[in-house]
Every structure is written in structure tokens, then in C-alpha cells.
Structure 1
Amino acid sequence: MLKRKMMDTLIEWKEKKSKECLLIVGARQVGKTFIIREFAKQNYENIVEINFLAEPKFMKAFEGSLKMDAIIRELSLRDESIRFIEGKTLLFLDEIQECGDARTALKFIAEDGRFDCIASGSMLGVAYKSTRSIPVGYERQIEMFSLDFEEFLWATGYDDVRIGYMKEYYEKREKIPPSINDVLLKKIREYAIVGGMPSAVNIYIETNNFGLVHKEQERIIASYRNDITRYLSVPERTKVMDCYFSLPQQLAKENKKFQYSTVEKGAKARKYDNSLDWLRDAGLIKFCYNVSTPEFPLPAYIMRDYYKVYATDIGMLISMYGFKMKEEFYNNTLKGPAKGGIYENLIADIFLKKNLPLNYYKPSENKQEIEFLLTEKGAVVPVEVKAGRGKTISLDEFIKRFDPPYALKLISGNVGEIDKKLTIPLYMAMFLE
């Protein structure tokens, strides 16, 4: 079984919660249902699982009164095996986006307090049919992603001791032994190809076969197509698909700001804005916003009309380039502009799964760009991503102009430090905060 950090989050919720239900959101097939079931098996004597997509008959149980006794009565009418044991039952409402009234019911389930409740959904913000009201104050919402790089390391045989050993080199700013560094640089390229979708990771662990992994990634993308078809009208679904499958071209440009003209020649934002919002709400993409001024606090300077778009799973992005490209990427022989965009999305993947905000700095079309901005103790730290070991003109200019406490350069190389510039291997992005 894949070890997931979400398990610790679920345990913490059970131990510390007051009157609140838990709502876990995220893209399809990132492992939400599996981890909730495992948590339930380990922590509850009794489980009541309702899947509104698989068994729509249960939607009617939430059409009338939403008091807990009424819900118990209505659910038991539709399945005689359902039992509720006070203090020992977890009610798991899966695919809750299919039943808006069930989300409203979270307030009353929480107020009742006799039974714990976790809900999960994949298309929240996209597919709610008719929600009477959002249970503000009675639900704790958490976004779940596919496996992050550390979870991938766990899955492929690394324990916390070995990972901690690597972290010591980062904290001490010392070069990691070259033989170990080379292995880990290859390991993060391996992660980029496989990605973090649990089914793809499991196939890789069991077979070591990149071809079978690619087939699984194609299956997952086909399921995304099905969702787009299911939830959208014909004109809208075409626009959403065009935007999603333009990501490889968007990230291969020198200026990686999302451009609608890449989707369709001469296209304007008003035609496709809703399509990107849909993909974001479905958990398939994240926006990385430009800031007008790289000063703390960054949210004060975000420019909402200037953004890059990254896939939420690096493996899904790389699969869109086709299978033949994977060998070149794995062997670090890939050339051309696409390489830089892939490595940027790899770091975006690591950052978003650490719950770090995605922001960048590009003051104008003709000036250099800083790929990411982090904050530390009220100061902004620039992060430049290099697929190779090239010069850092953008970073040098940023240091000269804004005098950050230090600057980060992520490369396919080793740890090094010159003045304010700290160079670290790409995989050490997992240690950034």
C-alpha cells in the first residue's frame, strides 16, 4: 500500500476536531477514496459509505429534512444493511459533487455530533447541482493531490532516514557526494515521467515498465475527456479540451505566460477564460500569477491577468508529449525550449503539493523572468529553475535590484554557494518552505 501524508492529516482531524466534517477535494484518481477507506478501516468499528455517482438512489435521502435522524431513516430505507453506532461510525459521502443537498447536510451532521463524517469530491465548483447552502464553519476543506516527490521516494524504497540524510546537506549547504547526487537527479527525472497518480506509481513499482505506465496515463487522460464530455455542452467541452491539451505548447514557449493565441490563432481571453477556470476547479491545472512588485506580502501585488498555467501532475504533462520523448528526458539528453518548461512544471508540482503559493516575476515582455517567488520571514526569495547549468542573468539582476536575503538556483547539479546565490539540485526543492 502506498504511504500517503493524507493519512496523518485524517488522524489529526479525528483527534482534534470539534464539530466539523472533513471535505477532501482534488482531481479524479489522486487516491481520495482509497485513503479514506484505509483510514476508516483502521480507526472505526463501523463504516457507512455512500457513493452518489455509483448509486444515485441515495440522493433522495437528502431531499427532505437534513437532521441526522432523518438521514439515517432515509438511508436505511434504501439499503437495509446500513447501521449507525454512536461514537463508532464514520459516514463517508463520496462523489459529493453529485448531490448538493448532501453538502448542505454536513452542517447538521456536524451539529449532531454522534457520528464522524468525511466527504470527498472531484469536480467541486464545477458540478454542484443544487446546494441549498454551503456549510460554512462546519466543514474543513482540504485539497488532495497525487503523490509528491517524497511520497514517490517512499514508494520506491527510500525511508525517512535516507531522506533526512539528504536534507542535512541542504541545511548545511554542503555538496552531496556526487555518486548519490547523480542517483537522486535520475530519481527526480523518474518521478517526472511516472508522476504521482497512484495507479501509475503502483504499475511502475510492480513492473518497472515505463511503457505500461504510459498506457495508464493515457487511460487517465481518457477519463478526463469523459468528465469534460459529461459535465459540459459541446461548444464548451471543445474549448476546455483545447486549453488543456495546449499545455505542452504553452510551456515550450520562451515567454510561458498563458497565451490564448496558442490555443487558437487570434483567440481572445473572453472566449477561453471560463475554460481555464473549469480546468482549475476540476483540479487539473494551477495558475502561477505574475506580481507587479516582488515585495512582501506577494498577494498585494498579484496581477490576475498575467499568469502561467501548470499541470497539477507532472507525469500527466509529460505523457502529453508522447512516449518517445520520455527516453530523452530520462537520460537528460532532451534539448530545445520544451525542456525548460517541463522542469518548471516539475518544480511547480513540488511547490503546490507543499501548499506553497505559485507566483513569478516578469516586469515586461522584453525583460528576464524569475520563475518562482517564495517568502521567508517577511522577505521575498527568488527561485530560478535551470534545466541545465546555464548562466543566471535574471537572478543576478534581481539580486542587484531588490537585495533579497538570498536567492535560489535549482539545477541538474550539486550544492554550491556564492555570495547570496545558493545553488541546489532540483530534487532538493522538496525541502523548501
Structure 2
Amino acid sequence: MERFILKNLLNWKNSPYRKPLILKGVRQVGKTWILKEFGKLYYENTAYFNFDENEEYKQFFETTKDVDRILQNLILASGQKISPQKTLIIFDEVQDCPKVINSMKYFCENAPQYHIACAGSLLGITLAKPTSFPVGKVNFLQIDPMTFSEFLIANGDKNLADFLENVNSIEPLPDAFFNPLYEKLKMYYVTGGMPEPVLMWTKARDVSAMQESLSDIISAYERDFAKHPNISEFPKISMIWKSVPSQLARENKKFIYKVVKEGARAREYEDALQWLVDARLVHKIYRSSAPGLPIAAYDDISAFKIYLVDVGLLRRLAQLSPTAFGEGNRLFTEFKGALTENFVLQTLITQFEVTPRYWSQNNPPYEVDFLIQRENDIFPIEVKSETNTSSKSLKKFKELFPNNVKLKIRFSLNNLKLDDDVLNIPLFMADYTDRLIGLALEKKER
């Protein structure tokens, strides 16, 4: 499998300002694999230490802050070789090891010649705690589920991925590319972007193994819910998690606590929801009152939508059968197009530094699915799961904020096209939203 994050890891290795790295990402997203692969490709050797498998290694960090002594103990205990500059040192499963995380400060200050990368499945939770964290002494990278482009390469369709990579003008794609890309996107909705289910499908074409793999990942996440420090939050986290498909199946996808449990109130459940957000198992998207900068200044924190980390996990959690793959547009339109919205949000989060928002008004009702900030501009986005693309809400948004909208963006099953100030992006090109916006703005200015 090819993961594009390798480029970011290589930039980290070669940076003159390199610090110890913390690689964040949910369980089973491929953190350990990518670090070992990176070590194999770009270092003479890799020294790997797993603090879940070898808990005794934690002691080396508790008795001293001298990094040379720590490394000497690790070398003697494990028999692995460590050379400055030439070895990638991987500290894995560090989420329950505050002393290991804190030691990064001393590696940064006293031993910058060592290349160290830390990973762990619930690091988002750990980093949200007010502990003695080495602020300013580490670099961060986030690894997310495989993108559709990465899925294409894993599926043996590098020609299609290369074609998308090389689109450099806003004009309709030939049917010879459009039609297979449309079919492959349905496949991606079924598998999602978690590496193991993708592997089960792309290598073995085994639907039952792929289904089982998705179920196993969901079970592993649900076991993690019990790791909340307040055990009474466990059932609340579980109920919120299981409510996501029904939240997204509603016409108005705004999160409602009563969907979780009859009579539920925000104050009882907000800690449980925050745990899921910190763990990055769900994405929380606030309602914005206007397209101003900074975008956070216009957040309505009482109104938000939540999406799952991965479209394949959402499909599995919703118990939608993979057979929907063969039923025309059904995967795109099922439960109010929720899979499509989740897919688009998933890819926008990886491309833009600022978390997307959404916009709505009640009387009369209008809703723009997402607002994204690109440089110092805000762009409204509507997601259509079919070819029917009338965009009343986009039009209304432009009427209300005429000076703030350079371009309106619509994702649909229609071809790539710039129609006045509406850029239609085929859903399977969502990974290239940032670049396509740039091309469309250039075209408009000509």
C-alpha cells in the first residue's frame, strides 16, 4: 500500500528544525506500519519499542531524565542497535506513558541527533489532559484513513489515480475515466479507508473478511470507551457512538441529544462526546452564523453536526449491506446521503488547516453543508448525492453574503464544470478540492 504521509515523514527527517515526532491517529489506521515502512525505506535500521508489549521499558524513563542512560538501557534490554542520524527510534503505544512523552523535551534539547517518532492509539485523549507535556519540543503529524486516491493505488488502479493527480484544468472528464472512477468510489464507500478492510478487499476480494475486519475495528473502539477515567461515562460514550447513523439519517443533521436517549441533556453527555472528539473517532462541525474571519469567531457552539472518522465504518455501524454497491446510486443516496457527506467531510479535513463548519437558517429553512476556509477566503459547499443539483441554499447564501463568496462549490455525480460562479466537483475528485478551487479561481479571473 502507498500512503501519501510518507512525504511528510521525509520532510520531517530532512528538516533542520526537526524535533521528536508524535504521530497521532485512531486505532488500526496504520501508524505502526507507516513508521516501520518509513524506517525501512529511509534509515539504515529501525529500533522499535512497544510500551504495551514491554511495560518494563517504562521504568527506564521513571528513574532518570538522562537520555543517554535511557537509550543505553533500551539497547541492553532489547538487543537492538541505535546510531545517531542512522536509526529511526519508534516508541509505540505511548498513550499511557506520560514519562515517555515528557522525555521528548530532553531528547529535543540534549540529543537532537536521534530521530524519534512516538505513536499511540488514544494519544488525542492523553494530549488533552493537563499533564507536564513537552510544549514546543515536539513535531506533530496526523495520519487519517486512506484517501480515495490511496485506495485506487491499493486496488491496482494507479492509472486512475495518476489521471486525477494530473488534472490541471476545469473541463469535463472523458467517460473512459469518469465511469470507472464512479464505480470505484462506490467500492470505497463499502470498504472505507482503514488499511486492513482495504487489504481484505483489494488483495483477496473477500467481502466477508472485509466486513469482519470493519466489525473488529468497531469492537476495538468500543472496548476503548471503557478507558475513560470516569467509568460512568462509558455507557454515554457508547450511546453517542451508536447514535451517529441515526443522527445523520435525519433531514436536518444537527446533533440532537434526545436521539441518543429520550430526555438526554447536553450537560450530561457533553463530556462523553468530547472524549470521542479528542480520540478523533468523530469529527464535530459547528454551525457558523456568517462567513467571516477568523471562522471560529462566528461559531454557534450550541449547534453542531458529528461525523465518523471513516465512511466504511459508518456504513458498517449503520449495518448497510455491501450488496448496495450493485444497486445504482443507492450507496450515495442511502439514509439522506449521509455516507456521501461523511466522505466529503473526511477528505476536506485532511486538506484544509481549519476544521470546516456548516451554515443554516430556520425561517425559511436553508442549509449549506460545509464552509471551508482556504487562505483568507470562505467557500460554501453543498453535497449532492445524485445528479439532481439544484442549489437553493448556495444561492441564498450568496444573496445574504455577496461580498464574501468568490466561488460556490458543489459536490455531485455530475462532471467537472465551472458554471458562472458554481464549481461542480465530481465526488470522486474530492481529494483534489484545494487544487480545483485554485484552478477555478484562475479561470474566473481570465
Q: Call closer, same or farther: CA 1:362–1:297 in 2, change over 3 Å.
A: same
SS class of match (1:388): coil
- Say yes or no: does 1:182 pair with 2:179: yes
SS class of match (1:349): helix
- The one-character-per-residue Cα deviations of 1:221-253 (angstroms, maximum 9, x if unpaired) are 111122122445542111101111111001011
1:345 to 330, 342, 346: 342
Partner residue in 2 for 1:23? 22
Partner residue in 2 for 1:102? 100
SS class of match (2:214): helix
Partner residue in 1 for 2:370? 372
Q: Call closer, same or farther: CA 1:70–1:362 in 2, change over 3 Å.
A: same
Q: Call closer, same or farther: CA 1:131–1:378 in 2, change over 3 Å.
A: closer
Partner residue in 2 for 1:311? 308
What is the CA distance between 1:127 and its match in structure 2? 4.5
Q: Call closer, same or farther: CA 1:64–1:350 in 2, change over 3 Å.
A: same
- In 2, the alpha carbon distance for the partners of 1:365 and 1:315 equals 35
Amino acid at match of 2:414: G
Identify the range of structure 1 (416-425 vs 237-246) with the bigger mean alpha-carbon deviation: 416-425
- In 1, the alpha carbon distance for the partners of 2:332 and 2:145 equals 28
Q: Call closer, same or farther: CA 1:414–1:142 in 2, change over 3 Å.
A: same
Number of residue pairs aligned between Structure 1 and Structure 2? 429
- In 2, the alpha carbon distance for the partners of 1:179 and 1:66 equals 61
Partner residue in 2 for 1:215? 212
Q: Call closer, same or farther: CA 1:51–1:285 in 2, change over 3 Å.
A: same
Partner residue in 2 for 1:3? 2
SS class of match (1:30): coil
- In 1, the alpha carbon distance for the partners of 2:268 and 2:187 equals 37
Partner residue in 1 for 2:43? 44
What is the CA distance between 1:419 and its match in structure 2? 2.1
Q: Call closer, same or farther: CA 1:58–1:181 in 2, change over 3 Å.
A: same
- In 1, the alpha carbon distance for the partners of 2:270 and 2:425 equals 36
- The one-character-per-residue Cα deviations of 1:161-197 (angstroms, maximum 9, x if unpaired) are 644534665x532121234312211211211111111
SS class of match (1:172): coil
Partner residue in 2 for 1:254? 251
Q: Call closer, same or farther: CA 1:57–1:251 in 2, change over 3 Å.
A: same
Q: Call closer, same or farther: CA 1:350–1:132 in 2, change over 3 Å.
A: closer
Q: Is the 8 A contact 1:155 1:205 kept in 2?
A: yes
Partner residue in 1 for 2:415? 414
- In 2, the alpha carbon distance for the partners of 1:5 and 1:61 equals 34
Partner residue in 1 for 2:222? 225
Using structure 2 for the length normalisation, give the TM-score: 0.90
Partner residue in 2 for 1:430? 431
Identify the range of structure 1 (297-306 vs 17-26) with the bigger mean alpha-carbon deviation: 297-306
Q: Call closer, same or farther: CA 1:69–1:371 in 2, change over 3 Å.
A: same
Partner residue in 2 for 1:383? 381
What is the CA distance between 1:90 and its match in structure 2? 2.2
Q: Call closer, same or farther: CA 1:227–1:393 in 2, change over 3 Å.
A: same
Amino acid at match of 1:418: D
Identify the range of structure 1 (420-429 vs 242-251) with the bigger mean alpha-carbon deviation: 420-429
Using structure 1 for the length normalisation, give the TM-score: 0.92
What is the CA distance between 1:303 and its match in structure 2? 2.2
Identify the range of structure 1 (254-263 vs 79-88) with the bigger mean alpha-carbon deviation: 79-88
2:235 to 219, 238, 261: 238
What is the CA distance between 1:374 and its match in structure 2? 2.2
Partner residue in 2 for 1:59? 58
Q: Is there any run of 5+ residues in structure 2 with no aligned partner, and where?
A: 435-446
Amino acid at match of 1:8: K
Q: Is the 8 A contact 2:3 2:150 kept in 1?
A: yes
Amino acid at match of 1:281: D
Amino acid at match of 1:24: L
Q: Is the 8 A contact 2:332 2:385 kept in 1?
A: no
Q: Call closer, same or farther: CA 1:287–1:364 in 2, change over 3 Å.
A: same
What is the CA distance between 1:102 and its match in structure 2? 0.4
Q: Call closer, same or farther: CA 1:382–1:113 in 2, change over 3 Å.
A: same
Q: Call closer, same or farther: CA 1:258–1:48 in 2, change over 3 Å.
A: same
- In 2, the alpha carbon distance for the partners of 1:334 and 1:16 equals 43
Partner residue in 1 for 2:274? 277
Q: Is the 8 A contact 1:408 1:424 kept in 2?
A: yes
Q: Call closer, same or farther: CA 1:127–1:339 in 2, change over 3 Å.
A: same
Q: Is the 8 A contact 1:98 1:128 kept in 2?
A: no
SS class of match (1:57): helix
- In 1, the alpha carbon distance for the partners of 2:374 and 2:227 equals 43
Partner residue in 2 for 1:202? 199
Partner residue in 2 for 1:264? 261
- In 2, the alpha carbon distance for the partners of 1:272 and 1:117 equals 38
- Say yes or no: does 1:327 pair with 2:324: yes
Q: Call closer, same or farther: CA 1:422–1:84 in 2, change over 3 Å.
A: closer
What is the CA distance between 1:325 and its match in structure 2? 6.1
- In 1, the alpha carbon distance for the partners of 2:410 and 2:399 equals 15
Q: Call closer, same or farther: CA 1:407–1:105 in 2, change over 3 Å.
A: same
What is the CA distance between 1:286 and its match in structure 2? 0.9
Q: Is the 8 A contact 1:127 1:231 kept in 2?
A: no
Identify the range of structure 1 (341-350 vs 24-33) with the bigger mean alpha-carbon deviation: 341-350
Aligned residues with identical type, % of pairs: 29
- In 1, the alpha carbon distance for the partners of 2:28 and 2:305 equals 24
Partner residue in 2 for 1:288? 285
- The one-character-per-residue Cα deviations of 1:362-417 (angstroms, maximum 9, x if unpaired) are 13375211001123453322110011133211112122222321211111122334
SS class of match (1:383): strand
SS class of match (1:227): helix
Q: Call closer, same or farther: CA 1:216–1:19 in 2, change over 3 Å.
A: closer
Amino acid at match of 2:114: F
Q: Call closer, same or farther: CA 1:142–1:329 in 2, change over 3 Å.
A: farther
- In 1, the alpha carbon distance for the partners of 2:396 and 2:122 equals 42
Q: Is the 8 A contact 1:122 1:283 kept in 2?
A: no
Q: Is the 8 A contact 1:287 1:308 kept in 2?
A: yes
RMSD of equivalent CA atoms: 2.3
